[in-house]
Amino acid sequence: MEKKKYYVNIGTQEISQVEFGNNNDFIIHANDEEVFLLREKMNEMYNADMNGFVRAHIPYVPYHNDESNDNYDDGLIDAFKMIHDLGDGKTREHIESMNILD
Long-range Cβ contacts of 12-16 (<8 Å, 24+ apart): 13/42, 13/45, 13/46, 15/39, 15/42
Beta-bridge partner residues of 54: none
pLDDT tens per residue, range 88-98: 999 999 999 99
| Domains: count for the chain | 1
Look up the domain containing 88 and give its range.
4-98
Q: What is the pTM of this model?
A: 0.78
What would you measure as the largest C-alpha separation in the chain, in angstroms? Answer: 50
pLDDT tens per residue, range 54-76: 555 556 556 555 555 666 777 88
